[in-house]
Amino acid sequence: MGIVDLAVRCGLSPDEPRLLEALTHSSYAAEHGVDSNERLEFLGDAVVDLAVAEYVVEAWPDVDEGVASVVRSRTVNEASLADAARELGLGDLLRTGRGVQKERGAERDSLLADAFEALAGALFSVRGYGPARDFVVQCLDERIEEAGRRGDIIDVKTRLRRLAEARGFAPPEYTLSASGPAHDVTYVARVVAGPVSGEGQGPSKKRAEAAAAAAAWEEAQRAGVA
């Protein structure tokens, strides 16, 4: 991918100064007296983090903070961003100094990940958050989904909701009841999602609903629809 193709992919003009800046490593900047991509990288780091976090909470509304953080960290890391940079061909476009060129430094994960973040920062600075977010998600969405699937990290309520969507069932509906004294309440939840249902209990509403969802998921598996 040449710089024109990259510009089209990003929605930037090929002669946009920030695009060239995003592709300029500090080693090249020091040798030629131009701006490096470090400031844009700093900005892009925040843009990428926010874009991935937003994707996670929108894709999995029931996900808790701990799980969301794990999914994000599995996606926003040096190796993952470097792979995304390689798919964009940034290694061939990155401007580096003579020493880095001699060591084939443009192939290093660290330089490529920084360049990806700098590109996101450039897009944000020129066109705003929306286009920058869309670009980041387009580049990383498969990695985010894979991060969510690995280790079955996505909670059972989300899995049940997504099953209902995929099968055309009605969305899961939960009903709750409580019993026991105020200091020791037991919650009982029941969920219905199309033809499957489940019941569960727990010391909190959230745990009771998760238990009910797990029961419904098991029923769906027995019925061969999950």
**Catalytic annotation on 45?**
yes
Cα 61 to Cα 155, 168, 169, 179, 201, distances in angstroms = 10, 19, 18, 28, 21
Helix 129-149 and helix 109-127: axis angle, to 10°?
A: 140
**Catalytic annotation on 145?**
no
Helices of type H across the chain: 3-10, 17-22, 26-32, 38-59, 65-75, 78-88, 90-93, 98-102, 109-127, 129-149, 156-167, 205-222
Q: Which of 45, 62, 155, 209 is catalytic?
A: 45
Q: What contacts 90, CB < 8 A, 6 or more positions away?
A: 6, 23, 112, 115, 116, 119
Q: Which of 21, 41, 117, 209 is catalytic?
A: 117
Q: What are phi and psi of 56, to 5 degrees?
A: -60, -50
- With the C-alpha atoms ordered 146, 148, 153, 156, is the resulting torsion angle positive or negative? negative
Q: Which residues are catalytic?
A: 45, 117
